[in-house]
Structure 1
Amino acid sequence: MPKLSLVVPAYKVRGYLPECLDSILAQDYPDFEVVAVDDCSPDGSGAILDEYARRDPRIHVIHLTENVGLGRARNAGLEKARGEYVLFLDSDDTLSDGALKAIADRLEATGDPDILVYDYARTYWDGSVRPNLRADLLKTDGPDVFSLAERPQLLDLLQIVWNKAYRRDFVERTGLTFPPGYYEDAPWTFGSMISAERIAVLDRVCVLYRQRREGGNILKTVSRKHFDVFDQYSRVFDFLEGHRELDRWRGPLFRKMVDHYLTILERPGRLPRDARAEFFHRAAADYRARLPEGFEPPEGRRRHKYALLQRDAYPAMMSALAAVRTRRRVTGGTRRVLNRSKRGAMGVFYRSQLKLPLDENLAVFSAYWSRSVSCNPAAIDAELGRLAPHVRRVWAVRPDAVKHVPAGVDYVRVGSREYWAAVARAKYFVNNVNFGDTVVKRPGQIHVQTHHGTPLKTMGLDQQKHPASTNMDFRKLLQRVDRWDYSLSSNRFSTGVWERVYPSNYTSLETGYPRNDILVTATAEDVRAARADLGLREGTTALLYMPTHREYQRGFVPRLDLERLAEQLGPDVTLLVRGHYFYGASSRLADLQSAGRVVDVSSHPSVERLYLASDGLITDYSSAMFDYANLDRPIVIFADDWDTYSVVRGTYFDVLREAPGAVATTQEELTELLRSARWRDERAAEARARFRRRFCDFDDGHAAERVVRHVFLGEPLEELPPIVPLDERVPAPPPGPGIATSDPISVL
Structure 2
Amino acid sequence: MPRFSVIVPAYQVQAYLHACLESVLSQSYPDLELIVVDDRSPDACGAIADEFAALDPRVRVVHLSRNRGLGPARNAGLELARGDYLVFLDGDDTLAPHALRAVADRLKETGEPDVLVYDYARSYRTGETVRNRAAAHLTEQGPAPFRLADRPGLLNLLMVAWNKAVRREFAERAGLAFPPGYYEDTPWTYPVLLSAQSVATLDRVCVHYRQRRTGSILGTPSERHLDVFAQYDRVFAFLDAHPEHARWRPVLYRRMADHLATVFTRPDRLPRPLRAEFLRRARAHCRRYRVPGAPAPLAVRLRHVLLRLGLRRTWAALRLASALRRRSARGAAVPLRAVRRAALRLHYRVQRLLPLRPDRAVFAVAGGRGYGCNPGALEEAFRRLAPHVRTAWAAERVHHHTVPPATRRLTPGTAAYWTALARSTYLVHNSAFDAGLVRRRGQVLVQTQAGTPLGRMGLDLVERPAAAAGADLGRLLRETGRWDYVVCANRHSALTWERVHPGGWTALEYGQPRTDVFQRARPEDVARLRETLGIPRGTVAVLYAPVHRDYRRTQRAVLDLERLVRRLGPRFTVLALGLPGGGAPPSVRGDRLDAAGDPLLGAGGRPAADADPLPGAGVRVTPAGGRVVDVGGHPHVESLCLASDVLVTDYSPLMFDYAGLDRPIVLHAAEPEAYEEARGTYVDLGSFPPGPVARDEDELIGVFAGGDWQGARSARLRAAFRERFCPYDDGRAAERVVRRVVLGQTQLPPVVPLDARRPPAAAVARSPLTTVPRSGAPVPSATASDRCPSTGS
User: In structure 1, which of residues 427, 430, 433 is the aligned counterpart of residue 431 of structure 2?
Assistant: 433
Query: What fraction of aligned residue pairs are identical, expressed as a percent?
Result: 45
Structure 2 counterpart SS, 1:369: helix
Aligned residue for 2:705? 675
Instruction: For 1:359 and 1:426, locate their aligned partners in 2 and report how far apart those are by CA, in whole Å.
Output: 5
Deviation at 1:506, TM superposition (A): 0.6
Aligned residue for 1:380? 378
Aligned Cα root-mean-square deviation (Å): 2.4
Aligned residue for 1:606? 636
User: In structure 2, which of residues 745, 749, 767 is the aligned counterpart of residue 741 of structure 1?
Assistant: 767
1:745 to 1:577, Cα distance in 2 relative to 1, 3 A? farther
Instruction: For 1:614 and 1:453, locate their aligned partners in 2 and report how far apart those are by CA, in whole Å.
Output: 20
Deviation at 1:600, TM superposition (A): 1.4
Structure 1 counterpart SS, 2:716: helix
Aligned residue for 2:661? 631
Match of 1:421, as an amino acid? T
Structure 1 counterpart SS, 2:728: coil
Structure 2 counterpart SS, 1:395: strand
Match of 1:503, as an amino acid? P
Aligned residue for 2:416? 418
1:676 to 1:408, Cα distance in 2 relative to 1, 3 A? farther
Aligned residue for 2:172? none
Instruction: For 2:624 and 2:564, locate their aligned partners in 1 and report how far apart those are by CA, in whole Å.
Output: 15
The C-alpha deviation readout for 1:483-522, integer Å capped at 9, x for no partner, is: 1111111111111111111111111011111111121222
Structure 1 counterpart SS, 2:622: helix
Instruction: For 2:450 and 2:498, locate their aligned partners in 1 and report how far apart those are by CA, in whole Å.
Output: 15
Structure 1 counterpart SS, 2:510: coil
With structure 1 as the length reference, what TM-score do the two structures score? 0.51
Aligned residue for 1:529? 528
Instruction: For 1:378 and 1:742, locate their aligned partners in 2 and report how far apart those are by CA, in whole Å.
Output: 38
The C-alpha deviation readout for 1:1-53, integer Å capped at 9, x for no partner, is: xxxxxxxxxxxxxxxxxxxxxxxxxxxxxxxxxxxxxxxxxxxxxxxxxxxxx
1:744 to 1:643, Cα distance in 2 relative to 1, 3 A? farther
Tell me if 1:482 matches 2:481: yes
Match of 1:376, as an amino acid? N
Instruction: For 1:566 and 1:734, locate their aligned partners in 2 and report how far apart those are by CA, in whole Å.
Output: 19
1:419 to 1:657, Cα distance in 2 relative to 1, 3 A? same
**Matched-pair contact (CA < 8 Å) for 1:395–1:412:** yes
The C-alpha deviation readout for 1:555-574, integer Å capped at 9, x for no partner, is: 65321112211222222211
**Matched-pair contact (CA < 8 Å) for 2:621–2:629:** no
Instruction: For 2:437 and 2:639, locate their aligned partners in 1 and report how far apart those are by CA, in whole Å.
Output: 33
1:736 to 1:560, Cα distance in 2 relative to 1, 3 A? closer
Match of 1:507, as an amino acid? T
**Matched-pair contact (CA < 8 Å) for 1:464–1:470:** no
Match of 1:732, as an amino acid? P
The C-alpha deviation readout for 1:112-136, integer Å capped at 9, x for no partner, is: xxxxxxxxxxxxxxxxxxxxxxxxx
Tell me if 1:707 matches 2:737: yes
User: In structure 2, which of residues 744, 748, 751 is the aligned counterpart of residue 720 of structure 1?
Assistant: 748
User: In structure 2, which of residues 588, 594, 603 is the aligned counterpart of residue 580 of structure 1?
Assistant: 588
Instruction: For 1:503 and 1:345, locate their aligned partners in 2 and report how far apart those are by CA, in whole Å.
Output: 34
Instruction: For 2:717 and 2:394, locate their aligned partners in 1 and report how far apart those are by CA, in whole Å.
Output: 40
Structure 2 counterpart SS, 1:544: strand
Instruction: For 1:557 and 1:406, locate their aligned partners in 2 and report how far apart those are by CA, in whole Å.
Output: 37
Structure 2 counterpart SS, 1:469: coil
Match of 2:371, as an amino acid? V
Aligned residue for 2:361? 363
Match of 1:743, as an amino acid? L
Instruction: For 1:350 and 1:563, locate their aligned partners in 2 and report how far apart those are by CA, in whole Å.
Output: 54
**Matched-pair contact (CA < 8 Å) for 2:488–2:508:** yes
**Matched-pair contact (CA < 8 Å) for 2:619–2:631:** no
Structure 2 counterpart SS, 1:656: coil
Match of 2:734, as an amino acid? A
Aligned residue for 1:541? 540
Alignment of 1:186-205 (within 5 A): none
**Matched-pair contact (CA < 8 Å) for 1:358–1:426:** yes
Match of 1:457, as an amino acid? G
Instruction: For 2:639 and 2:385, locate their aligned partners in 1 and report how far apart those are by CA, in whole Å.
Output: 23
1:355 to 1:541, Cα distance in 2 relative to 1, 3 A? same
Instruction: For 1:374 and 1:429, locate their aligned partners in 2 and report how far apart those are by CA, in whole Å.
Output: 15
**Matched-pair contact (CA < 8 Å) for 2:368–2:395:** yes
The C-alpha deviation readout for 1:377-428, integer Å capped at 9, x for no partner, is: 1111111111112211111102443455455542111111111111111110
Alignment of 1:76-91 (within 5 A): none
Structure 1 counterpart SS, 2:446: strand
Instruction: For 2:623 and 2:406, locate their aligned partners in 1 and report how far apart those are by CA, in whole Å.
Output: 31
Aligned residue for 1:505? 504
Alignment of 1:251-400 (within 5 A): 347-400=345-398
Aligned residue for 1:190? none
Instruction: For 2:452 and 2:689, locate their aligned partners in 1 and report how far apart those are by CA, in whole Å.
Output: 14
Deviation at 1:741, TM superposition (A): 2.2
Aligned residue for 1:76? none
Instruction: For 2:721 and 2:658, locate their aligned partners in 1 and report how far apart those are by CA, in whole Å.
Output: 11
Match of 2:728, as an amino acid? F
**Matched-pair contact (CA < 8 Å) for 1:680–1:742:** no
**Matched-pair contact (CA < 8 Å) for 1:575–1:598:** yes
The C-alpha deviation readout for 1:227-256, integer Å capped at 9, x for no partner, is: xxxxxxxxxxxxxxxxxxxxxxxxxxxxxx
Match of 2:671, as an amino acid? D
Instruction: For 1:745 and 1:446, locate their aligned partners in 2 and report how far apart those are by CA, in whole Å.
Output: 55
Structure 2 counterpart SS, 1:693: helix
1:368 to 1:676, Cα distance in 2 relative to 1, 3 A? farther
**Matched-pair contact (CA < 8 Å) for 1:369–1:434:** no
Aligned residue for 2:106? none
Alignment of 1:95-244 (within 5 A): none
Structure 1 counterpart SS, 2:462: helix
Aligned residue for 2:468? 469
**Matched-pair contact (CA < 8 Å) for 2:566–2:624:** no
Structure 2 counterpart SS, 1:465: coil
1:504 to 1:533, Cα distance in 2 relative to 1, 3 A? same
1:495 to 1:745, Cα distance in 2 relative to 1, 3 A? farther
Match of 1:726, as an amino acid? L
Instruction: For 2:557 and 2:725, locate their aligned partners in 1 and report how far apart those are by CA, in whole Å.
Output: 27
Match of 1:490, as an amino acid? A
Match of 2:494, as an amino acid? T
Instruction: For 2:576 and 2:413, locate their aligned partners in 1 and report how far apart those are by CA, in whole Å.
Output: 33
Match of 1:686, as an amino acid? R
1:476 to 1:583, Cα distance in 2 relative to 1, 3 A? closer
Deviation at 1:699, TM superposition (A): 0.8
Instruction: For 2:740 and 2:623, locate their aligned partners in 1 and report how far apart those are by CA, in whole Å.
Output: 45
Structure 1 counterpart SS, 2:699: helix
User: In structure 2, which of residues 454, 457, 460 is the aligned counterpart of residue 456 of structure 1?
Assistant: 454
Instruction: For 2:380 and 2:399, locate their aligned partners in 1 and report how far apart those are by CA, in whole Å.
Output: 20
